[in-house]
Structure 1
Amino acid sequence: MKKFVLGLICGIGLTATTSVYAIDTIQAYLFPAKFVFNGVNKVVEASEYVVLNHQGHAYVPIRFVAENMGALVNYKEDTKTIQISDAPLSKKLQLNADFLSTATEGKLLGIEFGIGSAKEDVFQKWGEPHRMGKRQVGFYAWFDYNYFFSGPNETVGAIGVSGETVRYSVEEVKKALGQPKYEGLSMIEAGWEMSYKVGEYVLFFSADRKDGNVHYMTFKKIE
């Protein structure tokens, strides 16, 4: 039911149809539509989402569309409400003096949930994570932000940022944040690492090589 509700939104007029697809008393047709977001083709995974044609109107998966346009989708089961909201999570992380200042408070610039935030609060505001994975330990991801929860109260113990959201060259990071406290071969994975101490917290930037590009950033409290 939840997947169905999040998968439909009223759409645009169409004329072509394919095979019959029935849900309860609604007769609809599978529609092999293609999606292009700001010039970039995106493939709809048939195992999770479908596009339907009902009475000449397209019904597209709202989660797929909204998230590809940088918005968060959250479904409230008790009120049967679909919430769609803009989120800075889909925008490139801005590295500057304010970024370091904010990091001393245990937060990333522009991101509301920082170190110590409750897992329940994150899920309540951001909805279901886009994916789950493991980087040494398990995490929940919203866009390029990986949240690691720990402790008996399941609070945010670390935040990882990957992909285009943190795609800077090593030199760009140094220019924005100054010389790191440590720089050298990574002790965890192949590649180059830089670290910045900010109050009780530390920022790790992982790059492919000394003069290469950052592919991951880790933010955590100093143990």
Structure 2
Amino acid sequence: MKKFILGVSCGLLLAGTSVAFASDTIQALLFPASFEINGSQVAMNKEYQVLNVDGHVYVPVRFVAEHLGAAIDYDSESEKILIKNKALDIVDPDYAKVSVGNLIATKSGNKTKVTGQLTISGVGNSQNMIGAGLSFYNENNEKIGEAAISGNQFGVDTQTFVTEGDGDFRHYDAVYLYIGAVNNRIISEVPHTMYANPKYHFSLNIPTSWEGKYEVEERLDEASERVNFLFIHKANSAFGGVVFSISVWTKEDWLANGPTAKGVGQLYKIREDEKHVFLLIPPGDVEYNPHDDTLKAEFKAMTDQISKIRTSFKLE
């Protein structure tokens, strides 16, 4: 694959250098330099070079980004260098020890290349086997792509992985992680039961661990005529207890007010039929007893399942 020399100016003015410019080309001088990143000496291999261009130092951005713990890739179609260095916040609620994040999706022929990072908590080395999958969804809650994660080099330190999947799913709305195996031990999916709504003919998969702990309350917003089905944690009902809600809007209401509502609050369009648009709304406020650690933990464990519940939504 063609290699791109990715450089970033360090803003260091150097004396005694002459650089000639001709059209869209430049002349550069090799610049001898060593690197200390976050207090540690870092050796640069022969694949990279530091350049002096017009009195400024240019260093390989991939080399620097990776040693700062960031994920990086180049999108040739948009001609963008993409760098991400945020917290790894994508987890499988059935196996929360594995965290994934900083995903960068770029086009690779008729496939989508996915660069990301992964870490495992509670392990002390970098020789752990992972078999997992990423599923990508559009704003209509339709799966548009998937990519596998596999390898035996993962551990408590963040590791970068590269994978790919069929089709173009760069512009996804949501992504979910599914852990299939860790160190050759199969991770079983949490069993569930089906909640069916006969009034609007939709269904959801609810974890069996919720049995006896939740109730569904139907509420009508008379001003907007929206019907909301609130899934309430009964032990926290005095504080609201709403784990999530399914809101049913008319299509006319959604077209008129949906864009504004999405900008104001957190909501996800998950399906529509001929007359209605169905939205999933996670809890916005503190809906649990903040003074009871047990009830707080139980509520959080339930909200962690929202992503899987969302993907299970079906219309009859």
Shorter-chain-normalised TM-score: which range?
0.3 to 0.5
Give the structure-1-normalised TM-score.
Answer: 0.46
Give the structure-2-normalised TM-score.
Answer: 0.34
Structure number with the bigger relative contact order (C-alpha 8 A, sep ≥ 6) is 1
Higher alpha-carbon Rg: 2
Q: Which has the higher strand share?
A: 2
